[in-house]
Amino acid sequence: MNIRKLRGMLDSRVISAAELTKFFLSRIETWDQNIGAFLHVNEHALEAAEKAQKRIDAGDPQPLTGIPLGLKDNLCTTDMPTTCASKMLEHYRPPYDAAVVAKLRAQDAVFLGKLNMDEFAMGATTQTSYYQKTRNPFDESRVPGGSSGGSAAAVSAGLCAAALGSDTGGSIRQPASFCGVTGHRPTYGAVSRYGCVAFASSLDQIGPIAACAADCELLLQAVAGRDEHDQTSFRADQRNRVRNRVRNRSEIKTNAASLQGVKLGLIEELLGENVAEETRRAVLHAAAWYENAGAVVETVSLPALDYAVPAYYLISSAEASANLSRFDGVRYGHRTEKPAHYEELIAKTRAEGFGWEVKRRVLLGSYALCSGYYDDYYMKAVRLAGALREQYARAFETYDALLSPASPTAAFPKDNIPDDPAQLYLADVCTVSAPLAGLPSLSTPCGYTAKGLPIGLMITGARWADHWILSLADCFEQSFDRRDPPMAAEMQKEGGL
């Protein structure tokens, strides 16, 4: 059941908003003990559903009115805790809603709860959460990816109709790939970051995770736009001034011949030896599908990608060290008991409140910004990001979009996470370059391993080409035989919609 089908059921009175919400709440109660996607279930969800039903009955439903959604737990909500999966913010309840939350409330969407994540969005496994470890619906012995693993797992398992996540270096696209759903990272500035607890401000972006690209587009339309609280957000007229070859979505969806003249680039550096053979075959098969639909597919080289991972971790960690300095035990969040003096208050509060991954990145970022190292590390990474933007810009002079794997491998066992963090960081090679260049990028399922694990195809576009790459994904999804997680069969025995 995608959002469009649920919309039709609600508007035709096949089901009420309250009945739909109860259905999902029942699923969460029964099945989330297997997955561990939700950190907090919203006690006000049925009240919101009843309010949505009044709007439906009045004949004024919006696209997301009455639709049950999940929210990553770094998005501020006045009626639910926002913990960022950290002890540092245990029990913290913000005094305001994030801009995206406010926009969804304005449509009377129903929030089912807050979803698990890697602590402060730093991780690729959703195993660094202080509260619980999330499991992959396709294989509960494997990770769901991260940091938006709770969001991807909840959508994959059918515990919510769709969800919002955040993507700093791949935190929407990689878990979407691991969990067999569609996840979209919008162009930087397309969606306000106001109320999203900051990790790396120049890279963070909120985006949708859903069953399909069409649902992602509905969510994007609901939350995108200029926000006076975020000066990096853009108005529609500003976006329209950016040169961009966008085609008509309905034509692509209904007529494969519309792909005639479309040029797609396969990124050479992201199909190398570090990519699993099953992943490579699935992505090349997807590229062949686009060729059969009329597109021209060629290999393209972006040499700066060889240095994208270290550049990303230097920039993101430097910004994290600054953003997380606010958690000092003075104003809000965790505070150590009975410190002897001010320095001990800060030191013990941060030692107790942060997990090891957060501490590691704060230390790395602080080191990179130190006097004597700033030019050698941070500024060199910034220059590399500039080179990457230039190479992408040149590629988009020729190609309408670029194709690659969303991850070098499918989901890996949760008991086989590398002890060396650098090895885990290298697994982000496919996703970190789009944030460094501020580009829109998405992951959609394109195949499965011999063990039945999903493989994600990543489609990256030029700035403001969000709807274009969603159209390309939607076109592919129309003919792709998508599978549900094995647990879906057991869930259906208890009754479906």
Beta bridge partners of 443: 183, 458
- The catalytic residue among 72, 103, 348, 414 is 72
Q: Number of C-alpha atoms within 13 angstroms, CB side, residue 267?
A: 30
Active site (annotated) includes residue 380: no
Assess whether the previous peptide bond of 147 is cis (omega < 30° from 0): yes
164: enclosing H helix or E strand: strand 162-167
Active site (annotated) includes residue 250: no
Q: What is the DSSP string of 333-344?
A: S---SS-SSHHH
- The catalytic residue among 16, 129, 147, 441 is 147
For residue 197, give the nearest of 43, 44, 333 by alpha carbon: 333
Active site (annotated) includes residue 171: yes
Beta bridge partners of 205: 167
- The catalytic residue among 16, 86, 129, 171 is 171
198-228 core/surface letters (b: 16 or more CB in 10 A; e: else)? bbbbbbbbbbbbbbbbbbbbbbbebbbbbbe
By the 8 A CB rule, do 318 and 311 touch? no
Q: What is the DSSP string of 386-430?
A: HHHHHHHHHHHHH-SEEEEESSSSS--BGGG--SSHHHHHHTTTT
From residue 35, alpha-carbon distances to 29, 58, 110, 179 in Å are: 11, 38, 21, 12
Rounded distance between C-alpha atoms, residue 263 and residue 457, angstroms? 17
Residue length of the chain: 497
Counts for the chain of helices (H) and strands (E), in that order: 18, 11
From residue 458, alpha-carbon distances to 182, 201, 264 in Å are: 10, 23, 12
Rounded distance between C-alpha atoms, residue 247 and residue 16, angstroms? 36
For residue 444, give the nearest of 434, 455, 435 by alpha carbon: 455
Residues annotated catalytic, as ranges: 72, 147, 171
